[in-house]
Structure 1
């Protein structure tokens, strides 16, 4: 997984919260999702269960099904009615409290270790602790909206909430509030693993002409020519790019699955496109051989030069909206 450089002087340098180790230990011991806690909301189609072996909140609506693990506040699955899962999950998973591989990991309050000292965990403090559900609402059309939150660390200076809306589209928002007395600058991402038929046969529209930083080239700047494809002549077979000043609307065209995934982002000026390629994937402990071909990460992000600055009391929202389209541009058939 990509790790942005730690040499920037503009981000806040976060110390590991005093209670973080205890929260991670608690997450390792967490059992099933508390069905009584969910029943307090009394929302049809929302229940406790298991998904891919993880205790999860299971959501069923007329439009889609979804699963959210409370470990990491991790969206595991989003399946529009009559279609295949939009998200990819690795069949090989590390034992909790390790981060989950696949779905949509929450990267916060820094991307990789961007601007950080080397003693902090990669990608922040949210993805290896136990979250809780704070609200569940069902609209008249059956769409379900949930709000979840990780443990709040008093010495961090930031508070996080995540809003997830399960309907004809998937909407996911990270809402960050500066709870301290000084300004804070942070980075973040919704690290979506999109399921594909073969990553070597798909393309991403909406990036043509953008500058990007290439982690595999010591973060040198390059310019995208045409759509993104894995077998770029400059560096084929892998991708770890941070696109700056991006437009916020992208389409993942997948002929093998006969669909396009439309990703729209707000509160973000950057997007990350990542696939480790064969050599790096073989070194991973939580990917089966060849599993790297089944996904492409397109990440709604504030990363690289895109740093969020909040004064005390201010909030920021990073949102992604995901729809599945037919390759002719219409909504995918059910």
Structure 2
């Protein structure tokens, strides 16, 4: 790969009302918001939009509802006090593009860093590679003389035809922590589907397998998420009742499901002094069947 500050197919633009880096390659287009470093769009050639962004999204500093929020250096408020922002500081920071690279096969790789997080003990930067698949890496460094424990996630919002009609493969037989049921531990039987009794889902699957597939008959496609360095999976949809009280979701709750690559719940990461940790995910799309 050759490095360039101004390669073809990379430009500044506005996507969903946010200043973004727009990437256009022969195999796909994508957009990354400079507010929150959040991927807002991924459209592989021959397919429809993979990600969902709320049409009711608010302006900064309100976090963006949709795309791929970066939860760092903690997930939710795990291990934190109630006076810190939910899902960490990275999701509302300003991010800067520090480099772009083009490969011979036409893929484009971006490097980004958040600004204004010097008060944290950990540092982080992110890799986004756009091609026929979307690959994202979150790279944490601990410059201190002591180990630091953290949690993290790529909080993926996937666009679906109807959340009531899709399934998530790759979770059968796994135990999960049900955040909508007082953190009770249950066992997944078969593919995930939105529970008919409660109509909502907020589940952490510890020690999950790392490959999850959204089967969407309505859009006639499979969306696969493959994670490296992430031991947990999270599957979330607030359901109709809770969504009605969410200003940036409302009636649009049927339009997405979150299938997240994470280190959360009991799967905390200890980053040794002077060491690094990376969370990776790759998202791909294939026709159903």
Q: 1:294 Cα deviation (Å)?
A: 0.3
Provide the rounded CA distance (Å) in 2 between the counterparts of 1:238 and 1:170. 28
Mapping of residues 249-260 of structure 1, within 5 Å: 249-260=211-222
Q: 1:82 Cα deviation (Å)?
A: 2.2
Provide the rounded CA distance (Å) in 2 between the counterparts of 1:284 and 1:48. 31
Question: Which TM-score applies when normalising by structure 2?
Answer: 0.97
Question: Which TM-score applies when normalising by structure 1?
Answer: 0.84
Secondary structure of the structure 2 residue equivalent to 1:47: strand
- Counterpart check, 1:309 vs 2:270: yes
- Between Structure 1 and Structure 2, how many residues are aligned? 286
Q: Which one of 53, 69, 85 corresponds to residue 17 of structure 2?
A: 53
Q: 1:152 Cα deviation (Å)?
A: 5.5
Counterpart position of 2:259: 298
Provide the rounded CA distance (Å) in 1 between the counterparts of 2:176 and 2:229. 19
Q: Contact conserved, 2:93 with 2:116, CA < 8 A, in 1? A: no
Provide the rounded CA distance (Å) in 2 between the counterparts of 1:269 and 1:179. 24
Q: 1:86 Cα deviation (Å)?
A: 0.4
Q: Which one of 79, 98, 103 corresponds to residue 139 of structure 1?
A: 103
Q: Contact conserved, 2:89 with 2:117, CA < 8 A, in 1? A: no
| Deviation per residue, 1:296-333 (Å, 9 max, x gap) | 000000000000001111111101101101112xxxxx
Compute the RMSD of aligned alpha carbons: 1.1
Provide structure 1 residue ranges, at least 5 long, that are not aligned to the other structure: 1-39, 329-334
| Deviation per residue, 1:13-43 (Å, 9 max, x gap) | xxxxxxxxxxxxxxxxxxxxxxxxxxx7120
Q: 1:231 Cα deviation (Å)?
A: 2.7
Provide structure 2 residue ranges, at least 5 long, that are not aligned to the other structure: none
Q: 1:290 Cα deviation (Å)?
A: 2.0
Q: Which one of 252, 266, 274 corresponds to residue 236 of structure 2?
A: 274
Counterpart position of 2:184: 220
Counterpart position of 1:31: none
- Counterpart check, 1:97 vs 2:58: no
Counterpart position of 2:152: 188
Q: Which runs of 4+ in 1 moved over 3 A?
A: 152-155
Q: Which one of 101, 114, 124 corresponds to residue 88 of structure 2?
A: 124
Provide the rounded CA distance (Å) in 1 between the counterparts of 2:54 and 2:195. 23
Counterpart position of 1:12: none
Q: Which has the higher helix share?
A: 1
Counterpart position of 1:178: 142
Counterpart position of 1:239: 201
